[in-house]
Amino acid sequence: MSEERREDPGRKEADNGPEENAPGEGKEKEADSVSRKEKGKKASREDSQPRDHELYTPQGGGGGTGGGSIRDVPVTEGSPKTGPREDLREDVDRPGELTLPQVADRVVEAEGEEEGEAGAPPEAIPEKEEVSSFRLLMTLAVAGAIAGAVLVFVHLWSQPRILAYQAKVLDQAIQEVLKSPDRYQTLFLLSDSTLTATLPEGVDSLDENQVLDRVYLGYDESGNPIGYAVQGEGFGFQDIISLIFGYDAREDRVLGMKVLSHLETPGLGDKIVKDTSFVNEFNGVAGPIEPVKPDRNTGEPDQVDMITGATISSEAVIDIINRRIGSLGELLDEYNPSPATAGASVRGTPGVPEMVQEAAVPERIQEAAVLAENSGVKEEHP
Amino acid sequence: MRETTPKQDFLRGVWDENPVLIQLLGLCPALAVTNTLLNGLAMSAATMFVLVGSSLFVSTLKNLIPHEVRISTYILIIATFVTIVDMVMHAVAPEVYGELGAFIALIVVNCMILGRQEAFASKRPVGRALLDAVGTGTGFTIAMMMMGGFREILGSGTLGQGTPWVINLFGDNFEPWVVFISPPGGFFTLGFILLFLGWYEGRKEERGELRHWPHSVRVPTTESREEAA
Amino acid sequence: MGELILILVSAMLVTNFTLFYFLGLCPFMGVSKNVGTALRMGLANIFVMTITSLVASFLNLYVLPYAPYLRIIAFIVVIASLVQIVEMTIKKVSPALFRELGIFLPLITTNCAILGLAVFQTGRGYTFVDGLFYALGAGLGVTLALVLMASLREQTELSDVPAVARNMGLVLILAGTLSLAFMGFAGLFSS
């Protein structure tokens, strides 16, 4: 299709001839004249047939709303815009006003412009005086500066609250999947596949290339490790499911599971969250988990009943967990935490210790602010 | 431009030129986040904030902004307000923020807002611009409430999900019409509302009160409304 | 590679940007009953989305970590300017191409779909390549939806549509049916 606007069966296409020759040639002048011609022809055709835009012209902003009368709806055809440089305006979609003839208008108007930053074109409307580029730049610069300043303030105000909330959510999730540990400790998975409670020198906890992941080791009151809370995500039925689960590496058992975010079908797939019996199935199930249909459950310790009508979502959840166990299981099993020292036993609190830069970390993994415990314990992977 | 009364400036956006139902602007949020009434209201509150705030600024500063860069500046102003509402909502109501997701950020490309600045706020005094903004925002809110309410009632059988005052309308045995909460439901709901409007306005036209509008949704002329009044 | 194909196809079918995320509805509703125009609009979309994806990845990686709150402003301003520049370049370099696609570029630059793509992509933490495939999939999905809708509307032009539906009501119901159909793609990739 090398010609525009010709395929519509309802339109009269009497003027394809002269336009046919132009496309092959790369000269701007000719493109110019072709557009002008096309625009002219469009104008004549406008009135004869209902155009697309007539069936949906939104009032948008440019319509008769200025006068408060709906009668002044512009049947848009080359309708005078309020300024020459409409490119940016058209960035906002108002289909009714931006049909092909008008766009062709702009093509024509834009021909004579110099390249340059968007927003500083030569003025074509005669009654306006020439405004200096400096003034234009200054306006934008000042506006930008003020905007930036305001945003900085709002950001400083809101950021601690946001982080605190994220920490709280993560804390709650860890509490749930580890079945209320007394406290927990953050372990960092480094790029060399070691698991450590304290970061070695020079490793930035926010750098995703160095700190691949975090798991949370929970302890009970007597200081014995309960298990690890591990996050995982993967594709579900509709989109990505993100979850966290508790895992006892020694006995290869899952302690509990909680879905953190998902986009599954409401009423069906979202039962992975709402169906408490399904969620409770994960308490104590042996890994790797085998999904079974409810009537085929033979009572093996590693079986979990899938949700009827949401088999794919259920399977996805199980698969995510199994894959995480597969990749981290050994590492977690071998990790040797020393019994907690009394001085460091603080229950995992939602604090705001790390100012995590949100852009650097996918929001889905709610890293933010879990207190690193046990600063006194230096535990390295053996 | 005809002179309009303040009342007209306000009421215009509420119904006659309702941004969603008549002008069909701002459909992206209208369809996407109206799966519950609360979400719809939250989104319309955020949009109202952005609309009013940016109208205020645009109208106040209209003489300072050179013509050529006005669109960029408007966009800058709008984007600033959107970022503010994004951060504030994230901090103050994180659960709702989680539901609305990225759509708060998309307020900035809501055609309706830039349209109001371009057509009205940049040409009128602050007071009128404010009225216009509030009116349009109210219209938007009404549309969102209609859609959100409809979808939630049929799609979950409740009203007020997400708030502490959830009403379970049909009892426990009600099998919700899940289609209405899912994406097609958004389209269908708005479609049904428009069909109803078409029927209603069609009846008015039969009575000779209306004028055909290119949009094909009939809208009352000022005269016929005065008659009716 | 399989991972990338998954990203692409799921963005195109399973979470179609127009029919699932409701992005880019303005052109969708408006772009006509003309399949040709719809196709061209869609291609322009793909083009802008790919550029946007690269830009968004770049910004996310190098600029935004210093000022995450500038995300929205940065995206919109940079995308708008960039597409402007690209449009002018195409016009100079290849008027033929410009005539095909170029005039749609401003129409779609800051529409919901493009900004939505940028926001979703960075929210998921995609890398440059991931993001590119995501954008391709999204663009293809939008094109698909546009073309389908345009052909449906071409058909309805010849049908006897009841008066009450002669406004956008019909279009929306059609869109809803399309969306319903696309829901069938869910579960395309299961573990």
Nearest CA in chain B to A119: B69
DSSP C147: H
pLDDT, position C133: 93
Nearest CA in chain A to C81: A118
Which pLDDT band holds residue B47 (cuts at 50, 70, 90)?
very high
Integer angstrom CA distances of residue A303 from A253, A282, A284, C62: 12, 9, 11, 46
Residues 6+ apart with CB under 8 A from A107: A35, C91, C102, C103
- Six token digits for residue A335: 């990790």
Alpha-carbon gap: A100 to the closest alpha carbon of chain B (Å): 18
DSSP A200: P
Report how many Cβ contacts below 8 Å link chain A to chain C.
163
Q: Is the pLDDT of residue B207 over 80?
A: no
pLDDT, position A352: 32
pLDDT, position C184: 84
Rounded Cα gap, residues B148 and B163, in angstroms: 14
What are C159-168's contacts with CB under 8 Å, separation 24+?
Answer: C163/B198, C163/B202, C164/B195, C164/B198, C164/B199, C164/B202, C165/B195, C165/B198, C166/B198, C166/B216, C167/A55, C167/B194, C167/B197, C167/B198, C167/B215, C167/B216, C167/B217, C168/A56, C168/B24, C168/B191, C168/B194, C168/B217, C168/C29
Report how many Cβ contacts below 8 Å link chain A to chain B.
162
Residue corresponding to tokens 């395309």:
C188
Residues 6+ apart with CB under 8 A from A330: none
Nearest to A361 by CA among A262, A244, A213, A260: A213
Q: Is the pLDDT of residue A378 over 90?
A: no
Max mean pLDDT range (A207-211, A266-270, B16-20, C38-42): C38-42
Integer angstrom CA distances of residue A251 from A196, A228, B112, C72: 21, 12, 59, 48
User: B139 - beta bridge partners?
Assistant: none
- C3 CB within 8 Å of a chain A CB: no
What is the overall mean pLDDT for chain C?
83
Q: Quick check: helix, strand or coil at residue C100?
A: helix
Q: What are phi and psi of A344, to 5 degrees?
A: -100, 5
- Do C69 and A5 count as a contact with CB atoms less than 8 A apart? no
Select the more confidently predicted residue: B192 or A368. Answer: B192
pLDDT, position B166: 77
Burial of A72 per CB tally in 10 Å (0-12, 13-18, 19+): middle
pLDDT, position A98: 40
Among the partner residues C111, C166, C177, nearest to B198 by beta-carbon distance:
C166
- Do B72 and C77 count as a contact with CB atoms less than 8 A apart? yes
- Do B186 and C25 count as a contact with CB atoms less than 8 A apart? no
Cα end-to-end span (Å), chain A? 67
Report yes or no on whether pTM surpasses 0.80. Answer: no
- B176 CB within 8 Å of a chain A CB: yes
Sheet holding A195-196, edge to edge: A195-196, A183-190, A211-219, A225-235, A240-248, A253-261
Contact B140, B111 (CB under 8 A): no
Contact B95, B162 (CB under 8 A): yes
Tell me the pLDDT tens digit for each residue of A314-367. 888 888 888 888 888 777 777 776 544 333 333 333 333 333 333 333 333 334
- A293 CB within 8 Å of a chain C CB: no
| Partners of chain C (3+ Cβ pairs below 8 A) | A, B
Rounded Cα gap, residues A56 and B196, in angstroms: 17
- Do B75 and C77 count as a contact with CB atoms less than 8 A apart? yes
Interface mutation target, options B103, B106, B147, B179, chain C, most CBs of C under 10 Å: B106
pLDDT, position A92: 40
Contact B144, B30 (CB under 8 A): yes
Which pLDDT band holds residue A268 (cuts at 50, 70, 90)?
confident
Q: Would residue B3 be called left, alpha or beta, if left means φ above 0 and alpha means ψ between -120 and 50 degrees?
A: beta
Nearest to B59 by CA among B145, B125, B131: B125
Tell me the pLDDT tens digit for each residue of B70-129. 777 888 889 999 999 999 998 888 888 888 878 888 888 887 888 888 777 778 888 888
- Do B214 and A73 count as a contact with CB atoms less than 8 A apart? yes
- C107 CB within 8 Å of a chain A CB: yes
Rounded Cα gap, residues A369 and A367, in angstroms: 6
Q: Quick check: helix, strand or coil at residue A184?
A: strand
Query: Per-domain residue ranges for chain B?
Result: 6-178
- Do A150 and B80 count as a contact with CB atoms less than 8 A apart? yes
The mean pLDDT of B183-188, rounded to a whole number, is 89
Which pLDDT band holds residue A137 (cuts at 50, 70, 90)?
confident
pLDDT, position C31: 67
Residues 6+ apart with CB under 8 A from A4: A38, A100, C36, C37, C40, C99, C100
The mean pLDDT of A243-268, rounded to a whole number, is 82
Which pLDDT band holds residue B225 (cuts at 50, 70, 90)?
low
- C84 CB within 8 Å of a chain B CB: no
- Six token digits for residue B154: 């049929």
Q: Are strands B158-159 and B167-168 parallel, antiparallel or unpaired?
A: antiparallel
pLDDT, position A356: 36
- C184 CB within 8 Å of a chain A CB: no
Q: Is the pLDDT of residue C83 over 80?
A: no
Which ranges in B27-69 belong to alpha helices (H)?
27-32, 37-61
Q: Is the pLDDT of residue A192 over 50?
A: yes
Rounded Cα gap, residues A378 and B122, in angstroms: 64
Nearest CA in chain B to A260: B98
pLDDT, position B46: 93
* Angle B172-B175-B177 from CA coordinates, rounded to 5°: 135
Which pLDDT band holds residue B29 (cuts at 50, 70, 90)?
confident
Q: Among A376-380, B23-27, C73-77, C184-188, which is the least confidently predicted range?
A: A376-380
- Six token digits for residue C37: 């125009």
What is the overall mean pLDDT for chain A?
61
Which pLDDT band holds residue C144 (cuts at 50, 70, 90)?
very high
- B108 CB within 8 Å of a chain A CB: no
| Partners of chain A (3+ Cβ pairs below 8 A) | B, C
- Do C21 and B111 count as a contact with CB atoms less than 8 A apart? no
Rounded Cα gap, residues A270 and A259, in angstroms: 10
Nearest to B179 by CA among C180, A310, C185, C175: C180
Helix B70-92 × helix C71-93 angle, to 10°: 150
Alpha-carbon gap: B63 to the closest alpha carbon of chain C (Å): 23
Tell me the pLDDT tens digit for each residue of A274-323. 778 888 888 888 778 888 887 777 777 788 888 877 788 888 888 888 88
Q: Is the pLDDT of residue A77 over 70?
A: no
Nearest CA in chain C to A103: C103
